[in-house]
Copies of this chain bind each other. A is one copy, B any other.
């Protein structure tokens, strides 16, 4: 099976969580964003009148005839097939639950630069963004990181992964969130990680996996940038 990933070109965005899973597993996939007509191919599925089960938004995955939207749902689907989730049903639900909690965290990260919603530009909501960023760094980042540190601490397998003794897609996603926070908040994030050694170690370990390291060093890995989910603005707290 050759998977097709549909997403916007030029950004990591939510597509990156899917890319990391596919790369870690060495799966064959086509990243449609890299094709010259990629956006048109994507729009055909989003807006075409004959798509029986249209996704609401990218990213979405095409697996044979099946279209699968919503990042955590794509990872739920891929997790079992790619060996990036436990085999038992309870373990799969738990991994998915962690991914959904990461998705909430990612939404809040996005909303730092879009507190008034996705319909206005950042430039139209700068003062509000500044206020939200302060609250986010003071209260929300600690709450989410403490949670994942606790999950790591309580995982009895004790191998430093979130679920059981092997890496899952949720580990890759958490590592990506931490890397994004480091880009967006270069002063606060190392301070926050200093008190959460398990998350810091997970991030290092996940990004040192041979296939992930090769991917991160390749041209396929786009640099962080300010059209993306994680953004660094000089007027916001660092």
Contact = CB atoms under 8 A, between A and B. Distances in A.
Interface string A145-183: 001001100111000000000000000000000000000
A53 to B, nearest CB: 5
Contact of A66 (B90, B115, B136): B90
Nearest to A139: B119
B52 A68 contact: no
A100 B73 contact: yes
A100 B52 contact: no
Interface in A84-141: 90, 93-94, 96-97, 100-101, 104, 107-108, 111, 115-120, 128, 131-132, 135-136, 138-140
B117 A108 contact: yes
Contact of A154 (B52, B73, B151): B52
A13 interface: no
A237 interface: no
A233 interface: no
Interface residues of A, number: 46
A76 interface: yes
A69 interface: yes
A145 to B, nearest CB: 12
A144 B56 CA distance: 8
B72 A156 contact: no
Given A93-B76, A115-B116, A116-B115, A100 B151 contact: no
Contact of A115 (B53, B90, B128, B144): B128
A72 B100 contact: yes
A151 B70 CA distance: 15
5 contacts: A52-B156, A53-B151, A115-B115, A117-B132, A120-B135
Interface of A: 51-56, 66, 68-70, 72-73, 76-77, 90, 93-94, 96-97, 100-101, 104, 107-108, 111, 115-120, 128, 131-132, 135-136, 138-140, 144, 147, 150-151, 154-156
Given A51-B154, A119-B139, 20 more contacts: A52-B154, A53-B97, A53-B154, A54-B147, A54-B151, A56-B104, A68-B97, A69-B97, A70-B96, A70-B101, A73-B93, A73-B97, A111-B111, A115-B117, A116-B132, A117-B135, A117-B140, A119-B135, A119-B138, A120-B135
